[in-house]
Amino acid sequence: MKILYVGDITGKPGRETAQAVLPDLIKKHSVDLVIAQGENVSHGKGLQVNHADELEQAGIQVFTGGNHSLMRLDALSQKANVIRPANLTEGTPGKGYTTVETSFGTVLVVSLQGQIVGRDADKEVLNPLTTIDQILEQHRGQKLAATIINFHGDYSSEKVVIGQYLDGKATAVIGDHWHVPTADAQVLPGGTAHISDVGMVGALDSSLGVETDIIVQRWKNAETKVRNEMEEGGRRQFNAVLIDVDTSTALARSIELIRQVIPA
């Protein structure tokens, strides 16, 4: 079974790039399931229903979430294939995991968030290790073709350790949030595919998707009040990982980083 996990789709440039790249990529690699990080899809903040619908037409079947997921609640509340981090406090809108049926069987997809995103610890984010233990226990005994866990976080220590913690318990643990792909894609000793960060889809000549000049102004003068704007020009990038799954064990045979740069 081939599963493609697509990095943070960021704003209109990200949507356009995903729509342009995915159909041929899915065909080329005979992809069976496409999962994508959706927290930055709509102007960098959350996911609108119409944008989810557009990306589904391009082949995406499940959208994971992160620290921006709650900024737009329509897709999260209306679509069963849109999830947000599971380790948020009780009463948070939406859900943290979903299952999807494929020709190979049921795939469990879980979204988690690191406890430190930005400069400070987030008190609204619960322990991801405890949360994933509970979710996996709930699905114990269920025949799953694969279990894909997304970990949205800042700290490399959290990203690396959760991969090792879940080695042998999940098919893949895929990190994101940095918008920059890391060079550590591997299958861990217990059979779990892992990468610290898969990167983003959108404007390459930018500051993680935002106009660079805005970030420079803010960096030079902390008092500057400038609103983030998505970079519309320049080159585009597409980053994803392709996971080859042995569905008899629900573990990974391989993981490959796929990166494309589209000229301006």
Using DSSP's 3-state secondary structure scheme, residue 212 falls into helix
- Alpha-carbon torsion (194, 200, 201, 205), positive or negative: negative
Q: How far apart, in whole angstroms, are the C-alpha atoms of residue 262 and residue 237? A: 6
Q: Exposed/middle/buried for 255, CB within 10 Å: 0-12, 13-18, 19+?
A: buried
Q: Are 85 and 65 in contact (CB under 8 A)?
A: yes
Q: Give catalytic status of residue 51 as yes or no.
A: no
- Token pair for residue 214? 């805005």
- Token pair for residue 195? 């990468």
Phi–psi pair at 143, nearest 5 degrees: -75, 110
Of these residues, 29, 43, 68, 179, which one is catalytic?
68
Q: How far apart, in whole angstroms, are the C-alpha atoms of residue 141 and residue 139? A: 6
Q: How far apart, in whole angstroms, are the C-alpha atoms of residue 251 and residue 177? A: 24
- Token pair for residue 196? 């610290």
Q: How far apart, in whole angstroms, are the C-alpha atoms of residue 66 and residue 72? A: 12
Among residues 228, 258, 230, 224, the alpha carbon closest in space to that of 243 is found at 258
Q: Which DSSP symbol is given to 104?
A: T
- Token pair for residue 132? 């994933």
Q: What is the CA radius of gyration of the chain?
A: 17
Catalytic center residues: 68
